[in-house]
């Protein structure tokens, strides 16, 4: 399914689940690991099991070079259609937010008015050809320049005028003739000829960014430090999830992280409510990041990915981070009934318990998701190389797939609590209880999957040299990857149909 996506594992979709983790090799899911020679980290798996690369996507990730190439193409296209210079076409496209259709319609509807609005024409009384009206000094005609209006100013004044505007910000893209009564645009050709190298680079940077920031079809990826943009063409199916080349998944419609099956309006309300509660009800860092051990009451900070916690010796009590239940007796803690258990930590008298239940579990899964994302980045940059020193590196790539799936499943769980929080009453208590049951089973399975991945990986990373049992670990994790993916596909379908009988 396209909503819970991971890096590709060939033939895994057609494999059969293992009934017993301790079965011999003949019960294994068979994978041809020679297929890893074609392993591509940026591919994802969709409902039919094929790579997104093989499918028609309704979005395109753009680099800065791609953006500049598209700008050049659009300028050349408009120049050919309207018989304009590239500088005039660029000014017209800037005015119409890089929409060729609107630029052409405006031009054909009223050419003089279109020119005037874009700064391509102006009327004036010609000044003395040798006098610069900025510095009021006489210059040779060859040392003076003018925009389309014909107002002459000396080249040094033009250089300073353009430079000051470029250093002032993106407003330089709408720069006009220095004459107070003139609205003629200062085009790309003049900037290229008269601006200093630094000011020219700055101007072209703003010019490139205008293609994204003034274009309804293109947005910057919201991930911190990312320089990619995404062009999106709505397909009419209401799906807005995109995956940037930096691996950040977000909703193109609202800019938040990918949040299906929750709609954008619900996300806005949820984020607003979280912010309000954090400010007005003092849901501070301590409430959601430290809890007392249920046995010795020593405060514990969660610093790993799964919910299985172990207190420091001599206590060594094992418990669930979410519900504080004893781990050996733990099954699931997703339902609201579990939140009312006597051992549950109270958040505060001013915070409604039913809200604390949903927000607490959402925050817990968000923290685990961020930790898993950090682990995945480390695996891709360093961890895989360390494993490759002890094992065949191609036999270790399944670990990346497992961690990518953990991240996406944590994301689904995080937003599933917002989904159930805003679930309409008309759905009925029975249906809601069923969805909470599925949610709880999914969370329990994910905990097992996440814990197995973390413990197994650390065991082999910390081992000296080759360690036996790696093949068994690989098979077990592949099995859990398959089972977890299938379960979350079903959970996703049920949540999307949550309002249906």
| Structure confidence by residue, pLDDT tens digits, 230-288 | 988 877 666 788 888 888 888 888 888 888 888 888 888 888 777 766 554 554 555 55
Distance CA 27, CA 19 (A): 8
Q: How far is CA 17 from CA 223, 398, 411, in A?
A: 36, 16, 24
pLDDT of residue 76: 93
Q: Report the chain's mean pLDDT, rounded to a whole number.
A: 76
Query: Would the pLDDT of 7 be above 50?
Result: no
Q: How confident is the model at residue 298 (pLDDT cuts 50, 70, 90)?
A: confident
Q: How confident is the model at residue 52 (pLDDT cuts 50, 70, 90)?
A: very low
Distance CA 402, CA 229 (A): 28
For tokens 């197994």, what's the residue? 456
- Per-residue pLDDT averaged across 337-350, rounded? 43
Looking at per-residue pLDDT, the higher value among 437 and 234 belongs to 437
Query: Would the pLDDT of 125 be above 60?
Result: no
Residues with a catalytic annotation lie at 306
- For 78, the token pair is 């408009």
Q: How confident is the model at residue 464 (pLDDT cuts 50, 70, 90)?
A: low
- Per-residue pLDDT averaged across 330-337, rounded? 59
Percentage of the chain modeled with pLDDT above 90: 9
CB distance 364 to 321 below 8 Å:
yes
Residues listed for the chain:
501
Q: How far is CA 454 from CA 217, 289, 363, 450, 488, in A?
A: 41, 20, 20, 6, 20
Looking at per-residue pLDDT, the higher value among 309 and 29 belongs to 309
pLDDT of residue 289: 62
Query: Would the pLDDT of 39 be above 50?
Result: no
Which residues on adjacent β-strands are paired with residue 318?
Answer: 310
Query: Would the pLDDT of 129 be above 70?
Result: no
pLDDT of residue 6: 39
Give the three-state DSSP class for 416: helix
Query: Would the pLDDT of 300 be above 90?
Result: no
Give the three-state DSSP class for 414: helix
CB distance 336 to 436 below 8 Å:
yes
What 229-236 contacts at long range (C-beta under 8 Å, 24+ apart), as own/partner pairs, is 229/61, 229/62, 229/67, 230/59, 230/60, 230/61, 230/62, 231/59, 231/60, 231/62, 232/58, 232/59, 233/58, 233/59, 234/58, 235/58
pLDDT of residue 500: 44
- For 312, the token pair is 């420091």
Choose among 437, 423, 247, 244: nearest CA to 338: 437
Query: Would the pLDDT of 73 be above 90?
Result: yes
Ranges 132-146, 297-311, 325-339, 431-445: which has the least confidence: 325-339
CB distance 82 to 104 below 8 Å:
yes
Sequence-distant (≥ 6) Cβ neighbours of residue 425 within 8 angstroms = none
Distance CA 103, CA 46 (A): 39
Q: How confident is the model at residue 69 (pLDDT cuts 50, 70, 90)?
A: very high
Query: Would the pLDDT of 32 be above 60?
Result: no
For tokens 């293992």, what's the residue? 18
Instruction: Please give the biggest Cα pair distance in the chain.
Output: 96
Sequence-distant (≥ 6) Cβ neighbours of residue 409 within 8 angstroms = 4, 442, 446, 449, 484, 488
Looking at per-residue pLDDT, the higher value among 141 and 332 belongs to 141
Sequence-distant (≥ 6) Cβ neighbours of residue 366 within 8 angstroms = 410, 414
- For 378, the token pair is 């480390």
H helix count then E strand count, the chain? 15, 11
For the whole model, what pTM was predicted? 0.64
pLDDT tens column, 183-242: 888 888 889 888 889 999 999 999 999 999 888 888 899 888 888 999 888 776 667 888
Q: How confident is the model at residue 19 (pLDDT cuts 50, 70, 90)?
A: very low
Distance CA 424, CA 312 (A): 43
């Amino acid at each position: 399914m396209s909503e819970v996506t991971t890096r590709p594992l060939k033939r895994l979709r057609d494999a059969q689940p293992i009934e017993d983790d301790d079965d011999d090799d003949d019960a294994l899911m068979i994978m041809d690991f020679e297929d890893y020679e074609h392993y591509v980290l940026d591919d994802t798996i969709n409902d039919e099991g094929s790579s997104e690369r093989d499918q028609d996507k309704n979005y395109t990730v753009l680099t800065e070079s791609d953006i500049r190439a598209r700008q050049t193409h659009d300028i050349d296209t408009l120049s050919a259609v309207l018989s304009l210079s590239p500088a005039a076409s660029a000014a017209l496209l800037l005015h119409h937010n890089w929409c060729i259709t609107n630029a052409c319609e405006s031009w054909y509807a009223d050419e003089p008015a279109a020119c005037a609005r874009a700064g391509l024409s102006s009327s004036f009384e010609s000044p003395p050809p040798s006098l610069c009206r900025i510095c009021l000094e006489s210059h040779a005609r060859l040392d003076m320049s003018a925009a389309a209006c014909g107002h002459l100013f000396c080249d040094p004044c033009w250089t300073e005028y353009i430079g000051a505007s470029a250093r002032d910000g993106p407003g330089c893209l709408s720069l006009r003739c220095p004459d107070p009564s003139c609205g003629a645009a200062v085009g790309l050709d003049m900037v290229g000829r008269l601006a200093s190298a630094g000011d020219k680079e700055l101007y072209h940077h703003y010019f490139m960014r205008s293609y994204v920031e003034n274009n309804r079809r293109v947005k910057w990826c919201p991930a911190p430090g990312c320089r990619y943009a995404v062009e999106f063409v709505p397909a009419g199916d209401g799906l807005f999830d995109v995956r940037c080349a930096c691996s950040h998944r977000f909703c193109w419609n609202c800019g938040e992280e990918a949040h299906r099956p929750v709609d954008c309006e619900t996300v806005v309300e949820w984020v607003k409510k979280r912010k309000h509660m954090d400010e007005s009800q003092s849901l501070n860092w301590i409430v959601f990041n430290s809890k007392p051990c249920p046995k010795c009451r020593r405060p514990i900070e969660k610093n790993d990915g799964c919910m299985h916690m172990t207190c420091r010796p001599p206590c060594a009590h094992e418990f669930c981070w979410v519900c504080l239940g004893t781990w050996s007796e733990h099954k699931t803690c997703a339902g609201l009934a579990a939140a009312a258990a006597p051992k549950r930590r109270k958040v505060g008298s001013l915070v409604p318990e039913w809200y604390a239940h949903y927000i607490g579990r959402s925050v817990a899964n968000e923290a685990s998701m961020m930790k898993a994302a950090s682990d995945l980045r480390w695996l891709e940059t360093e961890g895989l190389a360390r494993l490759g020193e002890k094992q065949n590196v191609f036999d270790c790539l399944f670990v990346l797939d497992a961690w990518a799936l953990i991240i996406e499943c944590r994301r689904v769980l995080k937003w599933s609590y917002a989904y159930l929080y805003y679930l309409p009453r008309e759905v009925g208590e029975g249906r809601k209880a069923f969805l909470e049951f599925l949610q709880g089973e999914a969370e329990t399975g994910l905990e097992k999957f996440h814990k197995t991945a973390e413990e197994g990986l650390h065991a082999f990373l910390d081992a000296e040299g080759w360690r036996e049992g790696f093949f068994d670990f690989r098979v077990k994790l592949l099995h859990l990857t398959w089972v977890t993916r299938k379960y979350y596909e079903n959970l996703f379908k049920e949540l999307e149909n949550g309002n249906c009988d």
